[in-house]
Structure 1
Amino acid sequence: CPRFERPALLGGASTAASSSSAMKAVILVGGFSTQLRPLTLTLPLPLLEFCNETLLSHQLRALKDAGMSEVILCYHEHMVPKSWDAAIRELQDELGISITCSHEEQAMGTAGAIKTAEDLITDYGKNSNPFIVVNADVLCSYPLKDLLRAHVKHGRQGTLLTTRTEQPSHYGVIVSDERTGRVLHFVEKPETFVSDSINAGVYVFSPSVFARIPAGRPVSMNEVLPTMAHEEQLHSMLLTGYWIKLTTTSSFMEAVSAHLDISRFLSPSTLASSSNDVTIKGNVMVHPSAKIGRGCILGPSAVVGANCVLEDGVRLEASTLMEGARIQSHSLIKDSLVGWSAVIGRWCFVTSSILGERVNVEDTLLINSAIVLPHKNLDVNIRKAEIVI
């Protein structure tokens, strides 16, 4: 993944320059391992498997479908894992989309990050097309074509995607004109009801927005968007599909359930069906390379990753198995996430737990409400909430 750092490009040629007609998008990655631990102790958030495809791949596919030809990944992480560059190259080849990295020397905030990447986004001022911005920790149904059309139609500097929430007091809410979509103002964590619409973390901006963002210091979208609304330069579009912000492993599993529900209607061929040996209940996704034993019962809301092995009589419910996980015979896994190459012994009951990479659970154990860091061996029951370090 070619890295763009402003001082280097100011002094020399850019290998990332593209046509002035190119449609571009930005994914705001930020740091790699600040959320969803212990999973992100193994892989950075964008490379986590979500329904047997990386989170980044889901976002890149949506952006490509919306007509984007180049995507810029903005991050400030200095400890870049070895898997990062190889994964980006693989995604670039697989999807046929150009991917460039914009590396910040320090965390520049959600608006400061796109300011840092301004020259990449605008081809040094030659590209006047609007561009899409997506937060890396957001998963939704991505109505990006509609969002682009709405942006072009109203002709303002920015358009943000909004979603409704049942807990508006937990967020900053958006008050907008329901007839026109124009954003009127923002209210931070209101104590009384003023709106149930919140920022979904997906935007379209025109390049003129860069004049609003100070250079050389961290800047949040929360600093820029209210001013745009005050000057009548910000519109909104309400999302009608699902939306999840991936801040915890529980939100990750909620997103899996929502995505499987959507898959039932949009791509039912990706979901598994019962056979003579295996019973499928509800929405279940099984990677073609996985091996499922006789008498297994899977679902609802279950995902079995690549090269996983489920021995005879396994029950898997509302759970995700990452690549290479092995569940030995007659174990029950419920409301849990099992990490890469983890092994669950025979006749185990694992519930409401998160197991990191290469965790080993010995036979006949109860594991309840546990968060287990990678490479740990469990040989005793865990009956109440516990973090195994």
Structure 2
Amino acid sequence: MGLPSVAYDRGDERDGSARRLKWQQDREVRRLKGLIILSDTSSSVDDHGSSSDDSDDPPPDAYAYSCAGDRKGKGPARKCMDMRYTNVDDKIKECLIPNLAQIYLIGFYEEREFALYVSSISNELRIPVRYLREDKPRGSAGGLYSFRDYIMEDSPAHIVLLNCDVCSSFPLPDMLEAHKKYGGMGTLLVNKVSAESANQFGELVADPETNELLHYTEKPETFVSDLINCGVYIFTPKILIAIEDVLKQKKDRANLRRVSSFEALQSATKAIPADYVRLDQDILSPLAGKKELYTYQTLDFWEQIKTPGMSLRCSGLYLSQFRHTSPHLLASGDGKKGATIVGDVYIHPSAKVHLTAKIGPNVSISANARIGAGARLISCIILDDVEIMGEGDHNAKLGITILGEAVDVEDEVVVTNSIVLPNKTLNASVQDEIIL
């Protein structure tokens, strides 16, 4: 299967060969495409350690993690879109680098769930944002290839690929400059972690002088390196040719391999489909050491959102970053003209916080939330339309907690280390619970 015609030079010479794809190096303005992978199955989280493509079940949904719902984006999780959108917002806004042509969100959610959001964020940022729904699991690289027609519109020079279950400062401008200097097919964002935790991720070895990727392995049983894959990439369009090569090899092997009827029956449910291509094992590992892939190490924060509680930690990391990059977004107050603010706190302009409340550290309060008199909030995320009442003998107190949309916490209620999904009223204290 060749690349689409829009990927070729639009002159008179069109021979239909993917190998003669023109990169148009002489163009003054280099157009980029940003892709953010949201999918709740194999094409999102298999490439930096949160799950494995080899498992029988599809990897969990990064957004259902954030919302504590089911991993198919159904049921309670579907009511928690605000947390999903907040997570996506972070990635989209980090993609806003010069010459960005378009942003695609790739996932398995129903298109209608993202329709209003995509329209709103496109108008806000004045950059086309589109949601692309995968029809079946194809692996992270296979999913990318299946949307090559869209990706190659306008003949982009570079493709920025982000997995959405990570939080980071996303140093894309510096990473892009390094990628251009390397001159390879792709550049991976990498980070150093402890030797004890490295095997939870894709480990890699890079040349200390050239930063070339020399070796890559996904979740090794024995320690290989403390450098890990962060799930953030910049590629040239040549990545699509590399994926196409793998697809052809898989097809050829499938045609050549002869099996008995018993083997065919046994392998029917275990065999990986021919159009299923993993970015880590099928692309990164084989191309390591061939001067095609390079690394860019971040010295800033990086975390993967593996559990609901990690959303809270990531919120704290972003708030801490705002202190240096966007201090105007953080709230302040001493209790005289407004609530008492301790540490890093974000309060949406439409939220109403009583001046006797004490907020922080590490608190994020979303649109139209209402915080009553005397409430004390520490380490929590308050989503849209949540009401925290006040004036009790022991006013509402939240610690290490995420409250979904339109949750009401009544007087004298303590909520600790819990996640509450939308449209609930809490009239009794809870601790260490996920309330569906």
**Does residue 177 in structure 1 map to residue 186 in structure 2?**
no
Secondary structure at 2:100 match in 1: coil
- Pick closer, same or farther for the CA change 1:21–1:261 going to 2, 3 Å: closer
Point out the structure with max Rg over C-alpha. Answer: 2
Q: Which has the higher contact order (CA 8 A, sep 6+)?
A: 2
**C-alpha distance in structure 1 between counterparts of 2:186 and 2:125, whole Å:** 28
Whole-Å separation in 2 of the counterparts to 1:46 and 1:344? 18
> Which one of the candidate residues 133, 148, 154 is aligned to 2:176?
148
How many pairs are equivalent?
350
- Specify the alignment match of 1:284 in structure 2: 345
- 1:229-276 CA deviation, whole Å, 9 max, x = no partner? 132211000012111222221111110111111111111111111131
Corresponding residue number in structure 1 for 2:103: 71
Residue-by-residue CA offset, 1:198-238 (whole Å, 9 max, x unaligned): 11111011111212214561211112101111322110000
- TM-score by structure 1 length? 0.84
Q: 1:207 aligns with which of 221, 234, 237?
A: 237
Cα displacement (A) at 1:44: 6.0
**Cα distance, 1:194–1:246 mapped onto 2, change above 3 Å:** same
Distance 1:294 1:23 in 2: 46
Residue 262 of structure 1 corresponds to 321
Determine helix, strand or coil for the equivalent of 1:318: strand
Please state whether the residue corresponding to 1:340 is helix, strand or coil: coil
The 3-state SS of whatever aligns with 2:96 is helix
Assess if the C-alpha contact under 8 Å between 2:213 and 2:295 holds in 1: yes
**Structure having the larger proportion of residues in helix:** 2
Alignment CA distance shift 1:46-1:109 (3 Å): farther
What amino acid is the match of 1:266? Answer: T
Inter-partner Cα distance in structure 1 for 2:99 and 2:31:
9
Whole-angstrom CA distance in 2 between matches of 1:210 and 1:360:
50
**1:371 matched to 2:431:** no
Distance 1:149 1:47, change over 3 A: farther
Residue segments in structure 2 that go unaligned for 5+ positions in a row? 7-26, 41-60, 248-273
For the 8 Å contact 2:30–2:99, the answer to whether it is kept is no
Equivalence for 2:293: 234
How far apart in 2 are the matches of 1:326 and 1:76?
32
How far did residue 34 of structure 1 move? 4.6
What is the DSSP-based 3-state SS (H/G/I as helix, E as strand, rest coil) of the residue aligned with 1:163?
Answer: strand
Partners of 2:115 and 2:218 in 1: CA distance? 38
- C-alpha contact 1:290 1:309 (8 A) present in aligned 2: yes
Give, in whole Å, the separation in 2 of the partners of 1:87 and 1:46.
Answer: 13
Q: 1:254 to 1:153 in 2, by over 3 A?
A: same
Shift of 1:146: 1.2
Residue pair 1:47, 1:55 contacting (<8 A) in 2 also: no
- 2:415 is paired with a residue whose SS is strand
In 1, the alpha carbon distance for the partners of 2:80 and 2:175 equals: 23
Q: For 1:323, what is the secondary structure of its paired residue?
A: coil
On the 8 A contact 2:114/2:131 being kept in 1, the answer is no
- Tell me which of 72, 90, 109 is aligned to 1:58: 90
CA contact (8 A) 2:32 2:156 kept: no
Q: Which of 261, 264, 275 is equivalent to 1:217? A: 275
Q: Give matches, 1:131-146, under 5 Å.
A: 131-146=159-174
Match of 1:322 among 363, 372, 383: 383
Q: What is the Cα deviation at residue 117 of structure 1?
A: 1.4
Aligned counterpart in structure 2 of residue 161 of structure 1, from 183, 189, 192: 189
Check if 1:120 corresponds to 2:181: no
Structure with greater strand percent: 1
The answer to whether the 8 Å contact 1:284/1:302 transfers is yes
Task: Confirm whether residue 347 of structure 1 aligns to residue 356 of structure 2.
Answer: no
Asked whether the 8 Å contact 1:261–1:283 carries over to 2, the reply is yes
How many Å separate the matches in 1 of 2:303 and 2:80? 15
- One-letter identity of the residue aligned with 2:404: G
6, 29, 49: which is aligned to 2:38? 29
Letter in 2 for 1:169: N
- Match of 1:158, as an amino acid? G
Task: Give the alignment's TM-score, normalised by structure 2.
Answer: 0.75
